[in-house]
Structure 1
Amino acid sequence: MDTNYWISLKQDPDRFKSFYETASSDDVQVYFSTGNFIDLVKAKEQDLMTKIIVAIADKVLPPTPEKGHEFYVSDYFLDIVPDDEYRATVRREISDLPLIDILQQAFRDSTWSATDEYFVGMEQTRDLIEEWGHDNLKGVAFEDYLKRRGDQYVLHEHEVDIVEYVKKEIYFHRVLMMDPNEAVKENDVADMLVCTQAILSDCDMLLIEAKWANLGLVEAVTENIDGETELEIYKDFEAFHRELRGAVANT
């Protein structure tokens, strides 16, 4: 789920109660993404949010590696923390505390901000896509997978490591979808990460911000991927929850 929908569970006790009942089914697995974590690092009332996360989430989606053929889903909630050194400290010093206490401390101690390289990189990528087009830039990004065919080079996309492919393609398509005068936003990092991890974790349903659903950001990437499951995209919590309840009732 997009972070805004996690926060809405705090803001609306009736929504939380109803969703908690659905999510408690053995047939439902709710994932909490690293993108959600870095979003909530700056959010208010983190202690209450932590209680909601522990009550609802079944597994976490740890920081995404640079490349690879697999992306793992973790039962260990501390795997969500992006900083390796801090994660090791928590394991060593407070791992015997209740999970809620551990996560509350992790939120209090953690900081996150997009780097200057991110903002510069987005602007540079926008210029490159405008000048050369998405296909040419994709060829450069996945240069190791280009194969020569006569006088041309052909990209065999199915040979690219799935993690590398999804990360870069989400990034490129986000840039492609930017309005000419649109400013680069820090929270785009978290949103792109939630979308990336949803694809890589083979989840069935993704509830995201209406902007991304309307633009078809996820579909632009998944249409070129042969996945085991079809990822359904939702932008309205009630429609998402109604569909999830129906799926549970039919199992």
Structure 2
Amino acid sequence: MGVEYRCFLIPRPNTFRPHPDAAFALVTALRDDGWLLGPEHPALALLPFKQSRLYPSARKHGYFALTVGRRDSFAAPLPEMFDEYADRDLMMVWPVESLATSGLRYPLDPLPFDDPADAADCYYEVQFHFGRDFIYHTSEGIDPFKPSPLCSRGHTVECEPESDNDPFYSARLAARCPQCGAAFDPTQLVATGRDGRTGAAMRVRGGATYRFAVVVDCGKFFGRRQLRFHPRLKSLVERTLGVETYEYAEFC
């Protein structure tokens, strides 16, 4: 089995979800600066897209998508994808099976290897997570909010996704209370957790709760160094979307 590592870049306020044109602008900026492959990139034809049954859908556009209630991956041109799922759950995944073959910048810092030749074995995914409501991620590293979140009128907002086929494997917090319609904002709530490397206790304002996040999933290839989002990448995301962000990292 083995331990896997993921790093989340979450906007603050946690209510933020980019409009389709802003999401498209972010993908364009990340492609132009060498963080993502686009459909015209020559390296796209060199990657096998065989490490997962979901990957073949990425051959044409460089990414595949997943949504609640659907087991298979799919893809479409970005403007069409962002418009169709403008207020729905959506995970978009750019898989990189070989950093060296892709020619991309590595999204975390520092590199998880010393020998540049090891870049050929370095694999990861860059994911965009979009939630219709708040994706309420909890794990061994991050606890649920205590007490359970309520809207401003005292109603519970915790709910489950519409289907067991959920690419996020997470509960939800309603963006608007299902009983009274009041808007809900978890930005000031504090979740407790534990540092995955040291076991030290930590407090995370906003928790790992979001309507949008950029996630780097390293799988089992993450080395022994303390990784964080590359400052250049983090800055580009913040400038393009016009928001501040914070990081949450976990081992699973």
TM-score w.r.t. length of structure 2: 0.25
> RCO higher in 1 or 2 (8 Å CA, sep ≥ 6)?
2
Instruction: Point out the structure with the larger strand share.
Output: 2
Larger Rg: 1
